[in-house]
Structure 1
């Protein structure tokens, strides 16, 4: 299995005191940063799927494409840029900040220098030589990436809705509790209190401008 998609199989014998053994066991516990073999198989199927090949063809043909979360990483991978772990786990609603390039870009015009978006990730998309970072956050330096005029990676979730958030909480509630001490991880009550309306509106504005610009080529 590729190490970039999770742990490979290794065997080690460790002789140590009981306290160190417990600390080592804690480090080896599975969690949101651990990738199971099931997910490795899922990614293999995705990369072998004709639809993913179609995505690659669209990117290479400079069609209009926006990849969100894993989709952003796959867009980067299709262009030869390997994804990377993000400096911090981010789960919840936190501000992103437009870079100088982002403030000059026509699609997020009027969004303000900083605005809240949804987050639920540990990783970030790779950068090609031609890629431009349009937005960053406190925990991730690659929040919105422009790979070309019409190809983007969103390592954020401006499409979040209350129903979507509730489904994610149901799936990851134990992991959220385990990450309660992380600076950019909100707990269920905080997640449910977030208002997605403004980020949804900004996403639709971005998409409308992208579509209009693409149609006017």
Structure 2
């Protein structure tokens, strides 16, 4: 991998791109990008020049790259776990910054953070945190509380967040399914397009209603 490749990786990480997207742009495998970033400081500490220098030094010594920097503390397993959870969230479709905010909230002791705390902990701009938490609130992953004494918002992940996120997501899919069914009638149920839309819409509607019923049935597990 060239130094230019590593600079493009750093730029992609700064833009919040997933490993898969960076890999696509570099015409590399996702695992190659994941290993490159993981062995050179992780998503939050990747520096292209240092990474290139370290790779050259390892090649000269003929020794494999260490899993972690020698100065890693006892918190390394926790940090690794957090990075893995973030990667899973990104692969599921969350923007990277949104995933970082969500995971930081999930792993906090009481599931609560202020915007200022998130900004400080993640070392990002308040605007980035604002975009991320607004997305999380809109999709039910997080709820917003108001601190009347200090006039600030507190973002909370509680047990009901899992249920709420499923309900909101399923409602959006259900609306799409019913829109497809309405379009099928407009095209005519005896036409190829109408039949295709009707089948897809009916399938999605049945699956979503089953999922809603299941979420209601098992909600007691969250209490």
Which protein has the larger Cα radius of gyration, Structure 1 or Structure 2? 2
Bigger share in strand: 1
Could you state the TM-score of these two structures normalised by the residue count of structure 1? 0.22
Q: When you count helix as a share of all residues, which structure comes out higher?
A: 2
